[in-house]
Amino acid sequence: MNVRLLGLGEVPPKLAEAVLAGLPRSFAGGEIGRLPVALENCYDRTRAQVDASCLIERIPDPEPGWSALGLTGVDLFMPALTYVFGISHLGGRRGIVSWFRLRAEEETAEAQARFTRRITTEVVHELGHGMGLVHCVVPDCAMHRSLWPEGVDLKRPEYCPACLATLASL
Amino acid sequence: MMTMPVRILVVDDEQHIRNSLAAWFREEGYEVGVAASGRDALAAIARDGTHILLVDIKMPGMDGLELQRKVHELAPDATIIIMTAYASVETAVQALKEGAYDYIVKPFDPEAVSRLVRKAAERYALLAENRALRERIASASPALITGGSPAMTKVIELVEQVAPTDTSVLITGESGTGKELVARLIHARSNRRFGPFVVENCGALAEGLLESELFGHERGAFTGAVGRHRGKVEMANEGTLFLDEIGDVPARVQVDLLRVLQEHEFKRVGGNETIKVDFRLVTATHRDLEAEVASGRFRDDFYFRINVFQIPLPPLRERPGDISALAEHFLTKFSTQMNRRISGFSPDAMAALVGYPWPGNVRELANAIERAVVLCHGEKIEAGHFPFVAPPGSSDHSLATIEEAHIRQVLAACSHNVAQAARELDIDRVTLYNKMKKFGIERP
């Protein structure tokens, strides 16, 4: 499976490159692109957030053998939920991840590295959903559900053997 | 460990809410359905079954509260989580009072909704496990060993016919014919099988004590009533109350029982609170209740109330063809219990069993086989192992045989007045009844 990382709005080039480089070897390769979307069309003024379920529909269906993942810095929500780190179409090879709530607390190099790792882990997570994986009970598997940034730190940007086996059977 | 995937149904008239929640829970690995209205939800439940429902409280047409009431009827085990906006929290509290599992305010904190649904899924798993255990218990219901005689085959047919109904059953038959076993079988085959099966031997207690045992009492109702006591009637709620030796119930207690059967409510002795009860009554007697009614010793209105469906149990002497099967059954049971290797009965032993009249019926047969297993040190039970076959030139000096003979002698001397015999033997009436039961001694 190849991965196409699409910038939704402003994305620091080095960040996208670091995320692509940090993907596990189970992905064959990838490329970085930019998708010109009008984020304001999915913006909810009352909540001051962007509707993730609206935004994901802006991402075009990828060709066979590819997964498309939008990367953004805006705060995402789903209509029923106060916030999400990202969403995807289960088995649909499309997803988005926001780094808004994954930001590092400090400006140190160590904190910055942790921040990049968080984004990479959540990208791997949403790519997994896009390929048909559901949440995993293994605490350090990328497919384990995390609801706060520190929870993401407990995971690795890789799939556990059980999830890899599931992927092979899909 | 869950045995099947948990199915969630999201019911909300707002499409983007139900779709986003469905996507969220599918990622968790749940099976998720959506419904745009209460009517669609009921159709989905009837079609697919549902374990957890997330229900929006405000929907056009059937609202969340009304849907909740209908779901309780359609799928009582389903767990309902109410979704509400701030403005309708009061209604959500009303939903909780009517049995909702919890409520959650829109928009949800992802962690809160995830945790809530996980807890609901755990509740479902516990309910499923509980149900499986109950079904296992029900399938292990008491077996009635019949030996295949036409008379006992008819009994089984009657049990199967009456068990699923709520009809009162009167089981008649001599002492030791298995009346309590038949009562337990009726309960196990009934819709009340998951409720309690409560037994009271009405012949073993004096009038005042029986009243207290049946209806319970409040603290201070009488001397010695140091605390509140729940009676057997109250304990049998949603289950079956089995009253053995119903022919021994005094007239005043018959009136009280008649009232509770008609009104489905009663008061504890010394109490003012009216308690509602719902139980099925099964009674048993070795007496001829019609004769008791004719002589005025038993109330006719109570008799007609308890004798809606009668199951007569034939004495063992009228079905000798069952004896060998019953004997083999008890031999297997007791030799297993005592870890003895006994392969069967000698021809003489079986002839003795079939030829004996068994006045104490199946209970006496069971006691005789148990005793024989204790005495037997060979591969087969011999005729001499039975108490009713005395070896030539010798006598059985076992304590049990002497005790039984002594009890029979004292009872006969007291004209079978149990209270008087108990005083003579210096034991209480309950102990004497238990010993009579053990030895298969019945009152003429």
Task: Report the CATH number at residue B107.
Answer: 3.40.50.2300
B328-354 pLDDT, tens digit each: 988 988 888 888 888 899 999 999 898
Q: Domain end: B260, B285, B314, which one?
A: B314
Mean pLDDT of the region A108-130: 94
CA distance B130 to chain A (A): 25
Model pLDDT, residue B3 = 46
Residues in chain A: 170
Taking the Cβ of residue B309 and every Cβ of chain A, the question of whether any pair is shorter than 8 Å is answered with no
A18-35 pLDDT, tens digit each: 999 999 988 988 999 999
CB contact under 8 A, B27 and A90: yes
Q: Is residue B145 part of a domain?
A: no
Sign of CA dihedral B261, B267, B273, B275: negative
> Which string of DSSP letters, residue by residue, matches chain A?
-EEEEEEES---HHHHHHHHHTS-TTS-EEEEEEE---GGGGEETTTTEEEHHHHGGGSPPPPTTEEEEEEE-SPEEETTEEEESEEEETTTTEEEEE-GGG--SS-SHHHHHHHHHHHHHHHHHHHHHHTT----S-TTSTTS--SSHHHHHTS-SS--HHHHHHHHH-
Query: Residues B322, B307: one domain?
Result: no
Q: What angle do CA B189, B191, B194 make, to 5 degrees?
A: 90
User: Is residue B395's pLDDT more than 70?
Assistant: no
For residue A36, say if its preceding peptide bond is cis, omega within 30 degrees of 0: no
Model pLDDT, residue B16 = 87
User: Is residue A148's pLDDT more than 80?
Assistant: yes
CA distance A47 to chain B (A): 10
User: Is residue B280's pLDDT more than 60?
Assistant: yes
Q: Is residue B421 part of a domain?
A: yes
**Rg for chain A (alpha carbons), in Å?**
15
Per-residue confidence band for B141, with pLDDT thresholds at 50, 70 and 90:
low
In chain B, what percentage of residues exceed pLDDT 90?
Answer: 38
Nearest chain A residue (CA) to B106: A80
Q: Average model confidence (pLDDT) for chain B?
A: 86
Query: Token digits for B129?
Result: 């496990």
CATH superfamily of the domain spanning A2-169: Collagenase (Catalytic Domain) (3.40.390.10)
Per-residue confidence band for B2, with pLDDT thresholds at 50, 70 and 90:
very low
CA–CA gap between residue A150 and residue A138 (Å, rounded): 16
Task: Report the CATH number at residue B217.
Answer: 3.40.50.300
Q: Specify which of A143-152, B84-93, B110-119, B299-308 reaches the highest per-range mean pLDDT.
A: B299-308
CB contact under 8 A, B20 and A81: yes
Q: Domain end: B314, B343, B360, which one?
A: B314
Q: Which residues pair with B172 in a beta bridge?
A: B285, B312
B243 or B363, which is more confident?
A: B243
CA–CA gap between residue A47 and residue B389 (Å, rounded): 94
Query: Residues B104, B163: one domain?
Result: no
Of the candidates A10, A126, A150, A158, the residue annotated as catalytic is A126
- The ipTM is 0.77
Taking the Cβ of residue B75 and every Cβ of chain A, the question of whether any pair is shorter than 8 Å is answered with no
Residues in chain B: 444
Selected for mutation to probe chain B from A44, A78, A144 (highest B CB count within 10 Å) is A78
Query: Residues B66, B161: one domain?
Result: no
What is the side-by-side strand order in the sheet with B31-35? B31-35, B7-11, B52-56, B79-84, B102-105
Q: Contact, A141 vs A156, CB < 8 A?
A: yes
Mapped onto helix, strand or coil, the DSSP state of residue B365 is helix
CB contact under 8 A, B26 and A148: no
Q: Domain end: B110, B138, B166, which one?
A: B138
Q: Which of A129, A134, A147 sits opposite B114 (nearest CB)?
A: A147
Q: Specify which of A4-8, B57-61, B86-90, B417-421 reaches the highest per-range mean pLDDT.
A: A4-8
What total of structural domains would you count in chain B?
A: 3
| Residue B17 with chain A: CB contacts under 8 Å | 79-80
CA–CA gap between residue B177 and residue B204 (Å, rounded): 18
Q: Is residue B351 part of a domain?
A: yes
Query: Residues B275, B164: one domain?
Result: yes
User: Is residue B226's pLDDT more than 70?
Assistant: no
Query: Residues B197, B303: one domain?
Result: yes
First CA to last CA distance, chain B: 58
CB contact under 8 A, B114 and A145: yes
CA atoms within 13 A on the CB side of A134: 12
CA–CA gap between residue A9 and residue B275 (Å, rounded): 70
Query: Residues B328, B310: one domain?
Result: no
Nearest Cα to Cα of residue B159 among B177, B182, B143: B182
Q: Which of A62-76, A156-170, B152-166, B387-401 has the lowest mean pLDDT?
A: B387-401
Query: Token digits for B404?
Result: 């039984």
Pairing of strands B380-381, B280-285: unpaired
Range of the domain at B36: 7-138
- Sequence letter at residue A170: L
| Residue B108 with chain A: CB contacts under 8 Å | 80-82
Task: Report the CATH number at residue B412.
Answer: 1.10.8.60
Q: Is residue B354 part of a domain?
A: yes
Q: Is residue B444 part of a domain?
A: no
Query: Residues B87, B30: one domain?
Result: yes
Taking the Cβ of residue B111 and every Cβ of chain A, the question of whether any pair is shorter than 8 Å is answered with yes
Taking the Cβ of residue B26 and every Cβ of chain A, the question of whether any pair is shorter than 8 Å is answered with yes
CA–CA gap between residue B159 and residue B172 (Å, rounded): 13
B261-276 pLDDT, tens digit each: 999 999 998 888 899 9
Q: Is residue B1 part of a domain?
A: no
Mean pLDDT of the region B137-155: 72
Angle of helix A109-130 relative to helix A13-21, nearest 10 degrees? 60
User: Does A63 qualify as catalytic in the annotation?
Assistant: no
Q: Which of A47, A79, A89 sits opposite B16 (nearest CB)?
A: A79
Residues of A with CB under 8 A from a CB of B: 47, 53, 77-84, 87-90, 129, 134-135, 145, 147-148
Classify the phi-psi angles of A93: left when phi > 0, otherwise alpha if psi is within -120 to 50, otherwise beta. Answer: left
| Residue B114 with chain A: CB contacts under 8 Å | 145, 147
CB pairs under 8 A between A and B: 57
Angle of helix B429-439 relative to helix B399-413, nearest 10 degrees? 120
Query: Residues B220, B185: one domain?
Result: yes
Query: Residues B89, B133: one domain?
Result: yes
Model pLDDT, residue A28 = 86
In chain A, what percentage of residues exceed pLDDT 90?
Answer: 73
CA distance A135 to chain B (A): 5
Taking the Cβ of residue B105 and every Cβ of chain A, the question of whether any pair is shorter than 8 Å is answered with no
Q: Which of B26, B29, B107 sits opposite A81 (nearest CB)?
A: B107
Query: Alpha helix (H) ranges present in B75-221?
Result: 89-97, 110-139, 150-162, 179-188, 207-215
Query: Residues B349, B280: one domain?
Result: no
User: Is residue B7's pLDDT more than 50?
Assistant: yes
User: Is residue B34's pLDDT more than 70?
Assistant: yes
CA atoms within 13 A on the CB side of A126: 27
B43-78 pLDDT, tens digit each: 998 888 889 999 998 888 898 989 999 998 888 888
CB contact under 8 A, B20 and A79: yes
Query: Residues B193, B128: one domain?
Result: no
Burial B73-101 (b: 16+ CB within 10 A, else e): eebeebbbbbbbeeebeebbebbeeeebb
CB contact under 8 A, A145 and B17: no
B80 — phi, psi (to 5°)?
A: -110, 125
Model pLDDT, residue B162 = 95
Q: Which of B20, B27, B28 sits opposite A80 (nearest CB)?
A: B20
Nearest Cα to Cα of residue B281 among B312, B251, B244: B244
> Which string of DSSP letters, residue by residue, matches B185-196?
HHHHTSTTTTS-
Query: Residues B235, B334: one domain?
Result: no
